[in-house]
Amino acid sequence: MLTLLISSDNLFPRKQRELRMETFTLEPNAQERISVEELASLIFKILKRNLSTRKRITSYYRGSLQSIMSLELLRLPGGGEIKRHPSFERKFARAVQMLRDKGLIMQDHTQPHAQEFVELTENGEKMESEQFLPIVESSDKMIDEIKSSAGPLDEVAEVYLRESLETFKSNFLISSAFCLGAMSERYILLLAEAVETDLKDPGISRAYSNCRSVKHYAKFINDNLNKLRRKHSGNDVIFRELDT
């Protein structure tokens, strides 16, 4: 599982005296660099801390989004507010909407006329802040980790995987899903070709040549799994959940 990573050079934990709690300050360059997903995860972490504690926060209402922005994320240690990056408020609004869309926060029922006051939903209360989202900090690091456990990647598949990670970081989620799907389809084609070559049977080769779509190639692979298992008996580990 990937973990939320924000550079410690730009994100400074500090202690607030009323609760002795960790809060966070985003310098202007961090405001620019932080993704919507990372910001949503950070807001959720703060809300989880605020709304789960019984102690009183004297500086602001614990479920106020504007207070979280001004008095947590943009507050200087000695007081005052850090200069806002031009994109930050828009990014903050998108992050809040993401939390709403995921069903983790909702409007505070005690504050029905102000959307900036929120409370956790049942799902939000159950979810740990660390579970919010898998966040990609570095595509290179992610791909290197995959290679270290799975071996070399096909060159075409790696291009699609890298594009999927980069578009995900930029919050282009549909583009990311399409690229991930293209990578998966590439591996289905490669696996079907390897199955046909490995079994070396005229009937199987005819079935392989009749495939016209990725769906057909996937069915071809499934149809021949038992033949592969018999041929490679003693290597059950490589077939575990392969049909799924």
Q: What is the pLDDT of residues 103-123, one digit of tens each?
A: 889 988 888 777 889 999 998
Please check whether residues 26 and 89 belong to one and the same domain: yes
Please check whether residues 167 and 218 belong to one and the same domain: yes
Please check whether residues 151 and 233 belong to one and the same domain: yes
Please check whether residues 112 and 188 belong to one and the same domain: no
Residue 93 lies in a domain: yes
Q: What is the pTM of this model?
A: 0.49
* Cβ atoms 47, 39 nearer than 8 A: no
Residue 95 lies in a domain: yes
pLDDT band at 160 (very low <50, low <70, confident <90, very high): very high
What is residue 65's predicted lDDT score, i.e. its pLDDT? 92
Please check whether residues 151 and 182 belong to one and the same domain: yes
Please check whether residues 103 and 198 belong to one and the same domain: no
* Cβ atoms 139, 162 nearer than 8 A: yes
176-190 per-position pLDDT tens digit = 999 999 999 999 999
Please check whether residues 114 and 193 belong to one and the same domain: no
Please check whether residues 162 and 112 belong to one and the same domain: no
What is residue 14's predicted lDDT score, i.e. its pLDDT? 41
Helices (H), 112-224: 122-126, 139-150, 155-169, 173-199, 202-209, 214-223
9-20 per-position pLDDT tens digit = 344 334 343 334
In 10 A of CB 115, how many CB atoms? 12
Task: Write down which residue in 81, 101, 131 finishes a domain.
Answer: 131
46-59 per-position pLDDT tens digit = 898 887 765 555 56
Task: Write down which residue in 131, 166, 191 finishes a domain.
Answer: 131
Please check whether residues 179 and 85 belong to one and the same domain: no
Residue 91 lies in a domain: yes
Alpha carbons 22 and 24: distance in angstroms, whole number: 7
Residue 165 lies in a domain: yes
What is residue 203's predicted lDDT score, i.e. its pLDDT? 93
DSSP 115: T
Phi, psi for 26 (deg, rounded to 5): -105, 110
Please check whether residues 182 and 123 belong to one and the same domain: no
Alpha carbons 129 and 141: distance in angstroms, whole number: 23
Please check whether residues 99 and 155 belong to one and the same domain: no
* Cβ atoms 217, 189 nearer than 8 A: yes
Give CA 85 to chain center in angstroms.
24
Residue 43 lies in a domain: yes
Lowest mean pLDDT among 54-68, 129-143, 173-187, 228-242: 129-143
Which domain covers residue 28, as residue numbers?
Answer: 11-131
Please check whether residues 20 and 114 belong to one and the same domain: yes
Task: Write down which residue in 131, 156, 187 finishes a domain.
Answer: 131
- Domain total for the chain? 2
What is residue 3's predicted lDDT score, i.e. its pLDDT? 31
**DSSP per position, 165-196:** HHHHHTT-HHHHHHHHHHHHHHHHHHHHHHHH
Residue 51 lies in a domain: yes
Residue 6 lies in a domain: no
Alpha carbons 164 and 180: distance in angstroms, whole number: 6
Does residue 130 carry a pLDDT above 80? Answer: no
